[in-house]
Structure 1
């Protein structure tokens, strides 16, 4: 047992060294264990390591020393037990402390007794490591210039006008333009000629100085030194280079493999070099009179050594003397020889990447019936071999007729070592978080029937359209057959084609501004100074500044519109509370809010956006060194805390809209609370629009509460006597009753989503038209939802015209994020859509659920802004008191936490159970997140962050997309994956006008690719790029130019991020196009590697076709269906991976792509395995045998269970 325990410790030390240093050496681990056993203290252990040339950080030294001492304690305990077991000795019955230490992943702190939950879930209470030296070292230099290749890619994303304008501006400034000449977009070639295909197209960073071992044209002959030579002779396997040494002229062999990276591609030496060509080479070996040379390890322009070897290899050390990075080139080269990627460990020598597999690839994806039909026609002689749809004209052969092996994939039952006995695989079942106070109450029943009622309304509308379609004459050919038809009978079918679709009637609020100049936001005739002085916060400026100076943490309560978001940051800056070199940070839960508030504050501050006032959101940083007020999303501040936990760049941080309790805000609560302990000069301000300030105050050290009194009036609350089954219908009736019976005043109606709002607006408009005979006053219906933030016209905020009433139909965005004056009547059905995480499927879904009492009070307060108002609550008072939670369930307790757990792990927080959450998340959600990160490769068997996990944490996106990008670097298709990720980040690339649905569907089908939606998105972007990013191309193909611009911005930012972290952006399409030459669609060839990258990130979303109907997910065997908008609809591929699961009338898969089942085992060996061929697989055990249809036999009569006797 002692030997096994020692081997286990050595294995763990090896993993630690590999994670921190990149060294996977077992002998080195044994040497470290030896030093730890001999050392008597931690300081002596660190000194011994430094004496042997290993300057380690304090956190790593503590981790290594603790692990080694744990082994030593067990040795001493076993030795003591062996002595006590001798004859005549008394054994001690005192309990050993090793039992408690084995219950956890690490020995507990002295005096710390494990709780019941910590004993039950040791994987969630591992010791923290806050130093994080590896992340500090990986912080990119944002001020460094981009590489030539990255700049060339960014220039390719600009149209001709933009490039010409920038060139003119550069010439006006009196310096040379840094942009390449305007050529054909993505096909432009940089000055200096075209690089070899497949080579990493990165200009290496250099300071312009050659290395010390660069001898130029003449020097001593030294191994691994660099010289200038001339190509003397070109042969089939390479070339001979003539070199001048002090000893005389010699010739060396430069093999084709050492010229450029071939990646298995057939490359001829004549394509790379020619006779009398000057080259820079490195001597790899000297054997007598023979010299082996390398050209690909030397930069041909500067002579820089791209891969130092031997005595010229350098070790980079930082200013503190600690080791900054250790690169073991031999190990990396060995991994490449074994066909394993450096970053992700994915196999890069898959048989799908070979030239033979590319040639054998089908040009067209055919259904089973189409294949059978073509085969029957071929055998009958009606179809020649050349006319077969799958005939390869280049090779002159048909695809192999061999039947593909039916691969069975199964889920592994093995658990991670640090999660053993804690997951659902071992039967661990935990109760989910309740988002409804009473699941059997009237509100819960109404929420459950909301989907069915919406489906019923949709079916009624479809039935009306079908009735109009049935009235169209079906036999359109009869008038043409009649030799003497009546006048007008020969009607063209296309003229009646659009009659089956209801005419699109534009809403009134769009009619009022169509064709006119639209002003966004709220109009005001007052100056900026008068507007600022009219805010409620202006009268409290001095008391507020005094409270900020006297308190380190301040809780500010003020309703929406009081001015706390725009004015507090300016007051702090004007009072001189900003120290030099720091700034004021203000977080916003929404991207649109961060941009709009920054623009407003910059206008009031008297500067341009990006100077003294700026903003920072994902994929867009609009700040400068002069910025002193910075608005950002809470997620961006969380990413800054990933690098700098003390947030030294900020003197004041304001968490705005904290009552919304997003995931990032809740994590920031704990991090900023710890930051306040470490920095006495740090100020934290937490603002909220609700009155639940006591909870925030108690959490932040019983801090002071500052209240901004608002302009509120009394509001009369009205409840219904009986529960409402259909809250949408009840809301519409209430609107009409208020409009016809109540005095003047605008109405605010709360509904759950865009579909409900559009249906309600249409129904209200139709009912108002039916009431025209009674001459009612006009009702202006205005929808407001989150998908419409930039189209909030002036009429939404301005009072309604005289004699009219305004009815605003909004989601919960109008609770606190919007300030609409003139509202006197509020209709509250009591429901909202909430994001809910399903641990079984591992997906987030939006469900309709009752709101909380705090939300109900917030909605009622909207009616008391302008004057005394009324709030119509469409539920009983009993339901308000008994069926609603006091406050809403925080998002951290009901959503997926994979990204949050990854960030916490990257920050050194391993003890999730004892992290200072305001509301701790469910244990099952944390366990699922750890399990998913382990399957992605972000965590090792000990639950510690791997090198891949640290890389994934550096990208501002979910872990699956980060894994996709890193896998694309290994598989050399990062250009395609960046485009796909950019297109996936935007929604609704296509649009279907109601009057041109058939034409838009036809144009969309032209982009469909048999590989799926991901390659379809790639072709859409490439088509837009080939047409120089023209808006006219988007208009002709029914593509939203605004969404494409957004995808282009994301692509530019991803290229910049990849370049900052020194990750190559290489196109697989170009590489395979060079091999396949005449392949019509380069993206089809590129998909063989791009598809594996998608599979590497979203392997948990794999599905297989169900023999009965639809598909079955591999992880939880849920029945799902392809969305009709997918490019794979009606194609029925056997295996696919989806990006998003949408629940409407059924569970639909969106953004799908086809995969090969072998990829799942290659990219996710911790989750999938090949089924045993000798046994019946689990899928076949669950599969129900269905015989052929027989109309004379009773269904299932053949089964044994149906037989009598």
Structure 2
């Protein structure tokens, strides 16, 4: 096991920024008589309970409340209930950055209120799954609230809106905050709660403070800090840098199991591929342990964004008697989801995020060190039910050099989807729209250029009819939604919907850990490979999966990730429902590979690259050097002259993933406004 240096971290001594003397008439706040005494006792033990009246008072006095509550304080579940108990009118919306968080929080509040989830008291609304009635407390993803703003820009059905986990600063979070600033000016009686565990509160207060006079007594935004964790957490750092954080994570988990008191373990890794590999190794250890019956048995569970939701929800169920859970997760587990029983945290110290490349006008996946705020969020998963321990696989000296917070997604991402959504909501001048953090001008300019090339906006930067408005309805990269909507013209909607669905999961391939397994996996993959590239190969794999009647044995034989394939089937079904609204059926179409590749080129044309005489691929835009990913079916064959890629991954070089072979003439035919032929004389 890696040698760790112990460092005890006490709960933060965060005092309320509110004047302690302020109070309200407590007779107004009466507990629901149907809540059991035991649940009331549990709620009253939460740190946020003693700030209950302060929060309600500030919401009556101020339009915007910045709520700083350490992980585990109860802000996500208790504040909406306090508002209902105080008889606030209309609905209360609680926005979460992730679907899993919205569902689990709604279930938690339903249990505490003694009601059924999706009933009249509490419900949730996520993509393709929404409550049929209008509950008093409605948990939802940020994307759902944006969709509601398209039909009701002023959100008149809500009296309070809570944007939770703001520190994640996703694209949706920043769009919502920018739009809410406008809505609050139009609806003085609307209340906004901006909640986070780690946030630069003064900057957020300044952003939402609609006070033209500058006098403090006319402020419309205020801050309150809530004392946090119920139990202390010990922090351990590695004495020396670790050579491989994945292997070290597995070793550390097994050492904890052998030497520490019983308790569930949560491991943070960077992506699905690493999670699946760690789960596979841990299951091998678990099989040995479970057969010996010397201690408690081990149950290993993965958790990442593209995992089917019924599989994600398994991590929230208590382990069977005589078992402990080892959960291997990406940063999806950093959010407000509470996984019961977690005592030990293993933090690899890295996270996979997207960075926008202005030269290629594409997002690039990069593994970078975590920020201090993210590390604190990870540590906050422990200390919920009893004292916990966090094992950080990096040195304390290295931890001091980490950035304070992760840069907002708005300033480091491709903004084509952001601009498309704002245009659909009637924002005419994107450049003057007030974001919490102003995105780089190059990113905005590039987004407008791509949307114009896709025919989503016209020369006046207005959405085109009907294509631009249709594209805005899809929660997809605009390049993918253009391909999907164009597939009707090529009579290949069935095949394209499958390919787009396959691209919504990080990987469909299982990664064997043994040398013999790697060779077998490679041989099986060749059964599906075609010269046209990865995307047509995905189509063959999906068709084989369906022909096998979605057999788990088929996936095991061909080294495919069964849960990812089930997720693909679910995504494709949901895409079909959206396309049905535009009289497009995903059951029609039976085209050859060339037609499908031409359709892909109609939307992915900005991501074109050609084989330079030096033997290196170069982007047509920017002339950036690119390389074929070792995972691609094109890696070990004669390199084609022209290709399209779906994404770039930064390792030692820039690698193209999900590649399709095309002809250069297709670019001139399908995107003459974007490409033209030139001749260079050496």
Q: Normalised by the size of structure 1, how large is the TM-score?
A: 0.45
Report deviation, 1:800: 11
For the 8 Å contact 1:724–1:730, the answer to whether it is kept is no
Matched, 1:1167 2:674: yes
CA 1:754–1:1020 in 2, change beyond 3 Å: closer, same or farther?
closer
Report deviation, 1:655: 0.8
Partner of residue 413, structure 1: none
For the 8 Å contact 1:714–1:869, the answer to whether it is kept is yes
Pairs within 5 Å for 1:783-1182: 786=304, 790=311, 811-817=330-336, 819=338, 830-859=349-378, 883-947=401-465, 948-991=467-510, 1001=522, 1003-1023=524-544, 1042-1062=563-583, 1067-1069=588-590, 1083-1084=591-592, 1087-1107=593-613, 1109=615, 1111-1115=617-621, 1116-1121=623-628, 1123-1126=630-633, 1130=637, 1132-1144=639-651, 1147-1172=654-679, 1176=681, 1181=682
Unaligned runs of 5+ in 2: 1-36, 210-218, 288-293
The size of the alignment, in residue pairs, is: 623
For the 8 Å contact 2:347–2:378, the answer to whether it is kept is yes
Report deviation, 1:697: 2.5
Q: Distance in 2 between matches of 1:692 and 1:664?
A: 18
SS at match of 2:486: helix
For the 8 Å contact 1:1103–1:1137, the answer to whether it is kept is yes
Q: Distance in 2 between matches of 1:778 and 1:534?
A: 31
Report deviation, 1:644: 2.9
Find 2:228's aligned residue among 705, 710, 716.
710
Cα deviation, 1:13-64, whole Å, max 9, x if unaligned, reads: xxxxxxxxxxxxxxxxxxxxxxxxxxxxxxxxxxxxxxxxxxxxxxxxxxxx
For the 8 Å contact 1:1126–1:1151, the answer to whether it is kept is no
SS at match of 2:404: coil
CA 1:779–1:795 in 2, change beyond 3 Å: closer, same or farther?
farther
CA RMSD of aligned residues (A): 4.6
SS at match of 1:1168: coil
CA 1:876–1:674 in 2, change beyond 3 Å: closer, same or farther?
same
SS at match of 2:676: strand
Q: Distance in 2 between matches of 1:603 and 1:1105?
A: 59
SS at match of 1:556: strand
Partner of residue 616, structure 1: 125
CA 1:1025–1:755 in 2, change beyond 3 Å: closer, same or farther?
closer
For the 8 Å contact 2:608–2:645, the answer to whether it is kept is yes
For the 8 Å contact 2:316–2:340, the answer to whether it is kept is no
Cα deviation, 1:1056-1096, whole Å, max 9, x if unaligned, reads: 32332455768342xxxxxxxxxxxxx32xx4433222111
> After the TM superposition, which of the residue ranges 902-911 and 822-831 deviates more from structure 2?
822-831
Find 2:188's aligned residue among 651, 670, 680.
680
CA 1:1045–1:1124 in 2, change beyond 3 Å: closer, same or farther?
closer
Bigger share in strand:
2
CA 1:1036–1:732 in 2, change beyond 3 Å: closer, same or farther?
closer
Report deviation, 1:1160: 0.3
Q: Distance in 1 between matches of 2:560 and 2:270?
A: 28
SS at match of 1:1139: strand
Cα deviation, 1:599-654, whole Å, max 9, x if unaligned, reads: 44445555555443443333x13221444433222122223323432123333221
For the 8 Å contact 2:94–2:163, the answer to whether it is kept is yes
Report deviation, 1:946: 3.1
CA 1:1130–1:916 in 2, change beyond 3 Å: closer, same or farther?
same
CA 1:761–1:1127 in 2, change beyond 3 Å: closer, same or farther?
closer
Partner of residue 555, structure 1: 66
Report deviation, 1:1130: 2.3
Cα deviation, 1:959-1016, whole Å, max 9, x if unaligned, reads: 1012112322333433432333223323434546668666655554444444333334
For the 8 Å contact 1:713–1:869, the answer to whether it is kept is yes
For the 8 Å contact 2:365–2:648, the answer to whether it is kept is no
Matched, 1:635 2:131: no
Q: Distance in 1 between matches of 2:93 and 2:420?
A: 24
For the 8 Å contact 1:560–1:819, the answer to whether it is kept is no
Cα deviation, 1:773-806, whole Å, max 9, x if unaligned, reads: xxx99997967653678368679977997xx999
SS at match of 1:1098: helix
Report deviation, 1:593: 1.8
Q: Distance in 1 between matches of 2:473 and 2:405?
A: 34
Report deviation, 1:664: 0.6
Q: Distance in 1 between matches of 2:553 and 2:233?
A: 52
Q: Normalised by the size of structure 2, how large is the TM-score?
A: 0.76
Q: Distance in 1 between matches of 2:94 and 2:115?
A: 18
Q: Distance in 1 between matches of 2:268 and 2:361?
A: 30
Partner of residue 208, structure 2: 700
Partner of residue 50, structure 1: none
Cα deviation, 1:654-713, whole Å, max 9, x if unaligned, reads: 111112111110111010111111112322222112264333333222523344433445
Partner of residue 450, structure 1: none
Q: Distance in 2 between matches of 1:954 and 1:706?
A: 37
> After the TM superposition, which of the residue ranges 557-566 and 728-737 deviates more from structure 2?
728-737
For the 8 Å contact 2:101–2:337, the answer to whether it is kept is no
Report deviation, 1:543: 4.7
CA 1:1088–1:747 in 2, change beyond 3 Å: closer, same or farther?
closer
Matched, 1:660 2:168: yes
For the 8 Å contact 1:852–1:885, the answer to whether it is kept is yes
For the 8 Å contact 1:761–1:781, the answer to whether it is kept is no
Find 1:586's aligned residue among 85, 94, 98.
94
Unaligned runs of 5+ in 1: 1-525, 770-775, 1070-1082, 1182-1205
Report deviation, 1:899: 0.6
Partner of residue 291, structure 2: none
CA 1:687–1:777 in 2, change beyond 3 Å: closer, same or farther?
same
Report deviation, 1:936: 1.9
For the 8 Å contact 2:319–2:325, the answer to whether it is kept is no
Structure of higher CA gyration radius: 1
Report deviation, 1:557: 2.5
Q: Distance in 1 between matches of 2:141 and 2:205?
A: 23
Q: Distance in 2 between matches of 1:856 and 1:767?
A: 27
For the 8 Å contact 1:1008–1:1127, the answer to whether it is kept is no
Find 2:158's aligned residue among 646, 650, 653.
650
Report deviation, 1:563: 3.0
SS at match of 2:353: strand
Report deviation, 1:1108: 5.4
For the 8 Å contact 1:845–1:1143, the answer to whether it is kept is yes
Q: Distance in 2 between matches of 1:1038 and 1:1155?
A: 28
Q: Distance in 2 between matches of 1:766 and 1:1016?
A: 31
Report deviation, 1:1171: 2.6
For the 8 Å contact 1:554–1:685, the answer to whether it is kept is yes
Partner of residue 358, structure 1: none
CA 1:604–1:819 in 2, change beyond 3 Å: closer, same or farther?
closer
